Chain A
Amino acid sequence: MSLDKNNKLQMTALTILRVLVGWHFLYEGIAKLMKDGWSAAGFLGQAKGAFAPIFHWIADTPAVLDIVNQMNIWGLIAIGLGLIMGAFTSIASIAGMMLILLYYVCNPPFTGLFYSLPSEGNYLIVNKNLVEFGALFVLAVTSSGKFLGLDLIISKLLKRK
Chain B
Amino acid sequence: MSEEKKDQTPAKSGGGLDRRDFLQGLATAPVLGAFGLALGNQMHFDKKQKEKVQANQMEAADLPKTNVALLGAGSQGQVLMNAMLKLPYVNFVAVCDIWEEFNLIRATRTLKAYKHDVRSYTDYKEMLAKEKDNLDAVVVATPDFWHATHAIACLEAGLDVYCEKEMSNTLEGARSMVEAARRTGKKLQIGHQRRSHPRYRHCYDKIISEAEMLGRIVTVNGQWNRSVTPPLGYPKRAAMPKERLKKYGFESMEQFRNWRWYKGLGGGAIVDLGSHQIDIYSWFLQANPKAVMASGGNDYYPTDVCEWYDTVMVVYEYDTPKGPARAYYQTQTTNGSQGYYEKFMGDEGTLIISESEANNKGAVYRESTAPAWDQWVEKGYISAPKINTPGAEPDVVLDVRETATPDEHKIPVDFNDLYHRPHLDNFFQAVHGQAELNCPPEIGYETAVAVLKVNEAIKAQKRLEFKPEEFHV
Q: Does B129 contact A (CB under 8 A)?
A: no
Interface window among B26-34, B229-237, B312-320, B415-423: B26-34
A118: chain B residues within 8 A (beta carbon): 386-387, 389, 391
A19: chain B residues within 8 A (beta carbon): 28, 31
Q: Does B8 contact A (CB under 8 A)?
A: yes
Are A160 and B16 in contact (CB-based, < 8 A)?
A: yes
User: Once the chains are docked, how many angstroms separate the CA of A156 from the CA of B18?
Assistant: 10
Interface window among A46-54, A60-68, A127-135, A145-153: A145-153
Give the Cβ gap from B215 to chain A, nearest Cβ, in Å: 27
Interface window among A22-30, A90-98, A99-107: A22-30
Per-residue A-contact encoding for B5-19, CB less than 8 Å = 1, 0 else: 000101100111100
Which residue from B4, B16, B27, B392 sits with its C-beta under 8 Å from A156? B16
B389: chain A residues within 8 A (beta carbon): 118, 120
User: How many A-B pairs fall under 8 Å by CB?
Assistant: 69
For residue A149, which residue of chain B has the nearest CB? B28
B392: chain A residues within 8 A (beta carbon): 114
User: Once the chains are docked, how many angstroms separate the CA of A84 from the CA of B31?
Assistant: 7
For residue B388, which residue of chain A has the nearest CB? A118
For residue A18, which residue of chain B has the nearest CB? B28
User: Once the chains are docked, how many angstroms separate the CA of A27 from the CA of B28?
Assistant: 16
User: Once the chains are docked, how many angstroms separate the CA of A102 from the CA of B400?
Assistant: 43
Give the Cβ gap from B12 to chain A, nearest Cβ, in Å: 10
Give the Cβ gap from B243 to chain A, nearest Cβ, in Å: 59
User: Once the chains are docked, how many angstroms separate the CA of A19 from the CA of B32?
Assistant: 10
Are A84 and B32 in contact (CB-based, < 8 A)?
A: yes
A150: chain B residues within 8 A (beta carbon): 25-26
Give the Cβ gap from A34 to chain B, nearest Cβ, in Å: 7
Interface residue tally for chain A (C-beta within 8 Å): 32
User: Once the chains are docked, how many angstroms separate the CA of A70 from the CA of B226?
Assistant: 44
Which residue from B21, B24, B387 sits with its C-beta under 8 Å from A120? B387
Interface residues on B, range: 20 to 34
Are A157 and B35 in contact (CB-based, < 8 A)?
A: no
Q: Does A1 contact B (CB under 8 A)?
A: yes
Q: Does B473 contact A (CB under 8 A)?
A: no
Give the most central of A1, A114, A118, A151: most B CB within 10 Å.
A118
Per-residue A-contact encoding for B373-394, CB less than 8 Å = 1, 0 else: 0000000000000110101100
Q: Does A2 contact B (CB under 8 A)?
A: yes
User: Once the chains are docked, how many angstroms separate the CA of A124 from the CA of B21?
Assistant: 44
Are B29 and A85 in contact (CB-based, < 8 A)?
A: yes
Are B14 and A15 in contact (CB-based, < 8 A)?
A: no
Which residue from B4, B28, B39, B391 sits with its C-beta under 8 Å from A86? B28
Are B28 and A30 in contact (CB-based, < 8 A)?
A: no
Q: Does B43 contact A (CB under 8 A)?
A: yes
Give the Cβ gap from A67 to chain B, nearest Cβ, in Å: 26
Q: Does B114 contact A (CB under 8 A)?
A: no
User: Once the chains are docked, how many angstroms separate the CA of A23 from the CA of B4?
Assistant: 27
A1: chain B residues within 8 A (beta carbon): 11
Are A148 and B39 in contact (CB-based, < 8 A)?
A: no
**19 A-B pairs in the complex with CB atoms less than 8 angstroms apart:** A19-B28, A23-B31, A27-B39, A84-B28, A85-B28, A86-B28, A118-B386, A122-B391, A147-B24, A149-B24, A149-B28, A150-B25, A152-B25, A153-B17, A153-B25, A155-B15, A156-B16, A159-B14, A160-B14
Query: Which are the 3 A-B pairs with shortest beta-carbon distances?
Result: A159-B15, A153-B25, A148-B27
Beyond A114-B392, A148-B28, list 14 extra A-B contacts (CB 8 Å): A2-B11, A22-B31, A84-B28, A84-B32, A84-B35, A86-B25, A120-B387, A148-B24, A148-B27, A149-B24, A149-B27, A150-B26, A152-B21, A155-B15
